[in-house]
Amino acid sequence: MSPTEKTYHYLLRHWREAVPDDRLAHLIRDVARAQMRALQLRLGAHGVSFGHWTFLRILWIKDGLTQRELSELAGVMEPTTFSAMKTMEKMGFIERRQLPGNRKNMHVFLTPSGRALEGVLVPLAEEVNHISVSGLHEKTVATVRKCLLTMIENLAADETVAAEPAVASEGAIGRSIDEVRSPPARTDSPSQ
């Protein structure tokens, strides 16, 4: 049995027998990993890594972004983007250049060969998506999509709230001011 088959059988056994009621987050993670592996196998046949795919998808939508903007949109650190851009430039997928009047930022542009990959690679991703939902009714797929979008919205709202600095209530601020003005009396008795 190949390593891929072992992983497949392990995951199925895990979800069906070991922890059928485990948290939804774990199931979503395993589905995402399986989709990424399936896509990576297809991308690899064209010399494209999954990391490069992520940047290509962004650039196919909006070309000429800065490396910082690419990092933010891809959700990765800037050194990761820098390294990927160097490799993608050597592969002939992109070119980096400064725009007139702005010598600070490097902008990333697709080359004709990078642009042409869209017609080759997007159908591969569509194939993986089709495979992943095969056997499911269209209404079920629409429901899953709606549920996942709601989960994303819920988590984005939670992240926004969690990222806000805590604001002390007026009462807590008043108590803090009072403590500064009149420190508590000493409870220990002076040495005799």
pLDDT at position 179, please? 60
Parallel, antiparallel or unpaired: strands 65-66 and 94-99? unpaired
Sign of the C-alpha dihedral, residues 37, 120, 117, 72? negative
Q: Where are the domains of the chain?
A: 3-162
Contact 81, 70 (CB under 8 A): yes
Spans in the chain with pLDDT lower than 70: 8, 11, 14-20, 166-192
Contact 29, 14 (CB under 8 A): no
CATH class (in words) of the domain with range 3-162: mainly alpha
Contact 148, 104 (CB under 8 A): no
pLDDT at position 81, please? 94
pLDDT at position 192, please? 46
pLDDT at position 80, please? 94
What one-character DSSP code corresponds to residue 183? P
Contact 97, 107 (CB under 8 A): yes
Q: How many CA atoms lie within 13 A of 169 on its CB side?
A: 3
pLDDT at position 163, please? 79
d(CA 93, CA 21): 44
pLDDT digits (tens, 9 = 90+) for 84-121: 999 999 999 999 998 888 778 889 999 999 999 999 99
